Structure 1
Amino acid sequence: GGRRYNPLFICGGTGLGKTHLMHAIAHRVFEGRPDARIIYVSAEKFTNDFITAIQHHRMDEFRAKYRSNCDVLLVDDIQFLAGREQTQEEFFHTFNALHALDRQIVVTSDKYPQNLERMEERLVSRFSWGLVADIQVPELETRVAIVRNKAALEGIALTDDVALYLAQMVRSNVRELEGTLIRLAAKSSLTGRPVDLQFARAEITATSPPRAQMMSVEDIQRAVCHHFHLRSIDLTSKDRHKSVAFARHVAMYLCKQRLKCSFPEIGRAFGNRDHTTVMSAVRKIEAQRDSDPQVRAHLEALEKKLADE
């Protein structure tokens, strides 16, 4: 419902289906309310529309389109507004106008609201008003199912061992996983060789680029939330509940260990906490790691999860 989850803020990495989900939401709204005025737009298009409206003195038309004549506003890749102060100002007023009328707002981003850079604080806080939904990298079983479904759709003959191998090798996102399968099928039809395990291994080894993408603070926060069954916002909140504080400390420790971030950098990524707070959190986990088997088990499980990503 509009009031309960407004805005709906969907975040996740590239190729995990945020845009696909936006289209599905628009389609679902249209099915239930064919007369609903739905606007789906990228943040870049919103920016360009805004600039054009200013240049041609058509701000009234722009505001009518995005405020008065809109029941559902879906904005993709909101991080594009970073540093664009005037556009952020306009979007802020657009947001307020729609929210006051109980019109649904859905936004996607590659970062959690609190990690958006060069974004006005008042906008960031509004993005957290409703539901922040985090799209995770799918688990192995789901990745296998995705490979099988795509193969069936494309008419590619695929054995279970090849489906499992692809799912194990391509862990980053769904788009890359499906792309790898299509590439294998194309090479198979060119060479006349079946897509068996030997063929898949040879092709993936030959074409795999070195891991260019380094792990980010975001990846660690996501993994920790998933492991401890928390919401992304819990790690950056002021919540001092024991279980939340422990998870937050673990995430800070992993950022220090794996990413070699400075204490102030980590503090900024966890709700602007002081570097001394981060320092004591990291030391606390280091001490517990050496003395508490349960803490060690949590850390090992998370290390394994991060290594798999």
Structure 2
Amino acid sequence: MEKFWPAILEFLRARLPEASFKVWIKPLKFLGVKEKKLLIGCPNQFSLEWIRDNYLSLFEEALAFQRLSLSLDFVIQEEELPQIKQAPLPYDPTRVLGRRLSNRFTFEEFVVGDCNRLAYATCWALANQAPEHRVVYLCAGTGLGKSHLSQAVGNHLLREPRGGKICYLTAQDFTTHVVQALRQERLEDFKEKLRRGCEILMLEEVHFLAGKEFTQRELALTLDYLFDAGKIVVFTANRTPQELNKIDEGLKSRFQAGAVVRINPPDFQTRVNILKRKAQKQGVYLPEEVIQYLAQNLRGDIRQIESAVIGLVARSSLLREPITLSLAKELVQEIAPPNPRVTRDFIIDLVCKHFKVSRAELSSRARTRRIAFPRQVAMYLCRRFTDDSLEAIGKLFNRDHATVVYALNKVHQKINRPGPVKYQVEYLCREIETYLNQPQCESAPEAKKTPQREVS
């Protein structure tokens, strides 16, 4: 009789949305036949009731299709308690001090795009022990992947059997340890454990050290030792060192001892790639029009994108409907506020205010540095934040397609290395992203006082 069970499952799969099949049918177990009843095990009471209410008739059709004269009996099958097993590699409790690393956060699972390529490359080089800098400071907003990359470094290094110990702490953890050690008169023991007991220090959310002067001093002394010993240090925060408030200047200087790398919110193509990856992990297919719509309308962090995929799968299953564009629109209305659109005029006005040039000068034939550099930046921002083609952007500035390509390459080269251009472009990108993240915003924000422009 058991040989008929796969055929019954295939019958049901062909008639149900894939998401519904995975959620409700796949967990069921064939338990045998007793007194002309087909016994089917359900994982819990809710599942049993849902199957009876929604899929009983389909099961009966499947039995009739197989010419089986049986009735159905759904029962709750108690799951066996899982055996306690050693944590899967790469986690090794003897080599990790502080918090446990998540084995989900690996380089393989990180979706790379223009918004995070430099951060990924920097951390990858660090993990493969070929870094230009042994100190990395990752700054990004919530849910943009800085913790993912920092833990990916640790997980990668843990795969090396001869690697040293890793200390993974948040700034709050570090503060708590310092206070406890001070109360127990064991502060030197704690600092010695960090200095000699680990090869890699990963310290998350260092912006939470604001105002904690004693903890900042102790951290600065520990960092001096780690730097001198050539050990790897990874910091994460929600802003650059110079933007941190109530942090000692000496500690800021130490944060900047290596590579300071910003992770920007995912651009459109990266959002598309993230959606495809998350759907693949859920084992569902998203129509292309659904992917395009979600990528266009979900401009928040990566957690919001992941939540959207999970929400679509759940809705599709509960409503017994395929994943469609209308279902995606309903979901977006509930989880994301309406986003303002960034127009070419918005970008040009922002660039003009920042660099103190006029719109007429940007579209003129002038090639002086004072005009050419702001024009290149405006082209870059139009390409990044609008759906305009290269040709359309060129026409906006009375330039051809090749000139736009040259401008984009020029800006890309400059923002991929530290310097005034990188920081200015990042500032303008943040201004646009801030505008995008303000629901129902109708006008451009007022220009703020900004650093002196780079005209090289």
Q: Same fold (TM over 0.5)?
A: yes
CA spacing shift, 1:246–1:116, aligned 2, 3 Å:
closer
With over 3 angstroms needed to count, the CA separation of the structure-2 counterparts of 1:142 and 1:246, relative to structure 1, is closer
- CA distance in 2: counterparts of 1:253 and 1:188, whole angstroms: 37
Counterpart residue number, 2:201: 73
Q: Following TM superposition, by how much is the alpha carbon of 1:64 offset from its aligned partner in structure 2, in angstroms?
A: 1.8
Correspondence for 1:300: none
1:5 corresponds, among 124, 133, 149, to: 133
Q: 1:161 to 1:134 in 2, by over 3 A?
A: same
Q: Supply the AA of the counterpart residue of 1:234.
A: G
Give the residue type in structure 1 aligned to 2:446.
K
Q: Report the CA distance shift for 1:177/1:251 in structure 2 as closer, same or farther (over 3 A).
A: closer
Distance 2:211 2:312 in 1: 41
Which amino acid counterpart does residue 119 of structure 1 have in structure 2? I
Counterpart position of 2:446: 260
SS in 2 for 1:8: strand
Q: Please report how far the alpha carbon of residue 18 of structure 1 lies from its aligned counterpart in structure 2 after TM superposition.
A: 1.0
Tell me, in whole angstroms, the C-alpha distance in 1 between the residues paired with 2:235 and 2:423: 28
Structure 2 residue corresponding to 1:18, chosen from 123, 146, 169 = 146
Corresponding residue for residue 146 of structure 1 = 274
Task: State the 1:45 CA deviation.
Answer: 0.4
Cα distance change on mapping 1:57 and 1:151 into 2, 3 Å: same
| 1:167-220 Cα distance to aligned partner (Å, 9 max, x none) | 111112211111111112112211222210011112212443467xxxxxxxx9
Contact 2:311-2:331 at 8 Å conserved across structures? no
Mapping of residues 1-309 of structure 1, within 5 Å: 1=129, 4-32=132-160, 34-209=162-337, 228-229=411-412, 230=415, 234-235=419-420, 258-260=444-446, 263=449, 266=450, 270=451
Flag the 1:45–1:232 CA change in 2: closer, same or farther, 3 A.
farther
Task: Write the deviation string for residues 252-273 of structure 1: whole angstroms up to 9, x where unpaired.
Answer: 9989x9443654xx4xxx4xxx
- 1:16 Cα offset (Å): 1.0
Please state how far the C-alpha of 1:249 moved relative to its aligned partner: 9.9
CA distance, structure 1, for counterparts of residue 154 and residue 146 of structure 2: 13
User: Secondary structure in 1 aligned to 2:227?
Assistant: helix
* Separation of aligned partners in 1, 2:427 and 2:303: 33
**For residues 246 and 3 of structure 1, what CA distance do their matches in structure 2 show?**
26
| Paired letter, 1:29 | L
Whether contact under 8 Å (2:216, 2:247) holds in the other structure is: yes
**Contact 1:77 / 1:107 at 8 angstroms: preserved in 2?**
yes
Q: Which amino acid in the other structure matches residue 63 of structure 1?
A: K
Give, in whole Å, the separation in 1 of the partners of 2:285 and 2:307: 16
Whole-angstrom CA distance in 1 between matches of 2:213 and 2:130: 27
Q: Any idea what the Cα deviations from partners look like across 1:262-302, whole Å, max 9, x if unmatched?
A: 54xx4xxx4xxxxxxx6xx6xxx9xxxxxxxxxxxxxxxxx
| Conservation of the 8 A alpha-carbon contact between 1:3 and 1:102 | no
CA distance in 1, matches of 2:186, 2:428: 51
Contact 1:2 1:103 in 2 (8 A): no
Deviations 1:124-178 (A, max 9, x none): 1121121112212222122111111111111223111101111111112211111
User: Distance between the aligned counterparts of 1:126 and 1:72, measured in 2?
Assistant: 16
Residue 192 of structure 2 aligns to which amino acid in structure 1?
Answer: A
Quote the offset at 1:69 in angstroms: 1.1
CA distance in 2, matches of 1:133, 1:164: 29
Kindly report the root-mean-square deviation, in angstroms, between the aligned alpha carbons of the 2 structures.
3.4
CA shift in 2, pair 1:44/1:138, >3 Å: same
| Counterpart in the other structure of 1:301 | none
CA drift at 1:4:
3.4
- The one-letter code matched in structure 1 to 2:419 is D
Q: TM-score, normalised by structure 1?
A: 0.71
Secondary structure at the residue paired with 2:419?
helix
3-state secondary structure, aligned to 2:264: coil
Provide Cα deviations, 1:229-248, integer angstroms capped at 9, x if missing partner. 3268534xxxxxxx679869
Give the conservation status (yes or no) of the 8 Å contact 2:298–2:336. no
| Contact 1:15–1:173 under 8 Å retained in 2 | yes
**Cα displacement (A) at 1:35:** 3.7
Tell me the distance in 2 between the aligned counterparts of 1:68 and 1:127: 20
Identity of aligned residues (%): 30
AA matched with 2:244: L
Specify whether residues 201 and 33 from structure 1 end up closer, same or farther in structure 2 by C-alpha distance, changes over 3 A only.
same
Aligned residues: 252
> Which TM-score applies when normalising by structure 2?
0.50
Unaligned 5+ runs, structure 2: 1-128, 340-353, 355-379, 385-407, 435-442
Secondary structure (helix, strand or coil) at the match of 1:152 reads helix
